[in-house]
Structure 1
Amino acid sequence: MKRLLIVAHAPSPNTRRLRAAVASGARSGEVEGVEVVVKAPLDAGPDDVLACDALVLGTPENLGYMSGALKDFFDRSYYPCLDRTQGLPFAFYIRAGHDGTGTRRAIESITTGLRWRQVQPPLICRGEYRDEFEEQCRELGLYVAASLEAGLI
């Protein structure tokens, strides 16, 4: 059984819906060989990353950057994972009230340093909240889990 770790900061009802949608997609009946583990960034750490086969990150855009909680996760996980998780498949989504550019740049900078492998373009849910964001997040979770199960990532 492969393990997909979802680390997403969800401080609001809308961001909780997005995190739940990613998990729902990953746990779809179409995917049977993947264990899905969902953790808040402050509850996740290097041991979780070392135990997973792929990762989905989620964050709101805070002042043009990722949430402090997700940054804390990276701060605690970076060096313990640096030489042990090269090539780790990952994807991420951003709930952006503006454009998400700074948040995307920050996540891509850190994950490039870790030498993780981005398997899907970033999903940036921009502007006013729309229900379609949940379907996009569900598709992201399904894509990553199904690809992991099939050995494509």
Structure 2
Amino acid sequence: MKQLLIVAHAPSPNTRRLAEAALRGAGHEDIEQVRAVWKPPLEAGPEDVLACDGILLGTTENLGYMSGALKDFFDRTYYHVIDDKQGLPCALYIRAGHDGTGTRRAIESIVTGLRWNWAQEPLLCRGEWRDEFIDQVEELGMYLAAGLDAGIL
């Protein structure tokens, strides 16, 4: 059984809906060999990353940057996992009130340093809240888990 770790900051009801959608998508009934777990960034640590086979990151855009909670997660885990988790399949969604480019750029820089592999382009949920964001994040979770399940990631 493979494990998909979802590290998603969810400080509001809508961002919580996004994290739950990622978890729901990863738990799709056709995905049989992947167990998904969601941990808020302040609760996730190096041991969680070392135990996973793929990671889905979720964050809000805060002043053109990732959430402080996700930055804290990276600060606490980076050097503990850098040697053992190179090539880790990863994906990202950003709930951006503006454009999300600064947030994306910062996370891409960290992921590049960790030598993780993008399973797909980061998903930017930009602008005013739209319920379609939920479906997009659910699909992202499902595709990442399905890739792990099929052994292609």
Normalised to the residue count of structure 2, the TM-score between the two structures is 0.99
Structure 2: 5+ residue stretches without partners: none
Aligned to 2:121: 121
Deviation at 1:30, TM superposition (A): 1.4
Aligned to 1:105: 105
The one-letter code sitting in structure 1 at the alignment partner of 2:78 is: Y
Structure 1 SS opposite 2:28? coil
**Percent identity between the two aligned chains:** 69
Separation of aligned partners in 2, 1:48 and 1:34: 15
Aligned to 2:36: 36
Aligned to 1:151: 151
Aligned to 1:13: 13
Separation of aligned partners in 2, 1:150 and 1:48: 22
Deviations 1:90-114 (A, max 9, x none): 0000000000000000000001000
Aligned to 1:62: 62
Structure 1 SS opposite 2:80? helix
Aligned to 2:135: 135
Deviations 1:61-90 (A, max 9, x none): 000000000000000000001111100000
Deviations 1:92-144 (A, max 9, x none): 00000000000000000001000000111100000000000000001000000
Separation of aligned partners in 2, 1:21 and 1:35: 15
Separation of aligned partners in 2, 1:21 and 1:75: 26
Q: How many pairs does the alignment contain?
A: 153
Separation of aligned partners in 2, 1:147 and 1:110: 23
- Residue 99 of structure 2 corresponds to residue 95 of structure 1: no
CA RMSD of aligned residues (A): 0.4
Aligned to 1:50: 50
The one-letter code sitting in structure 1 at the alignment partner of 2:137 is: C
Structure 1 stretches (4+) deviating beyond 3 angstroms?
Answer: none
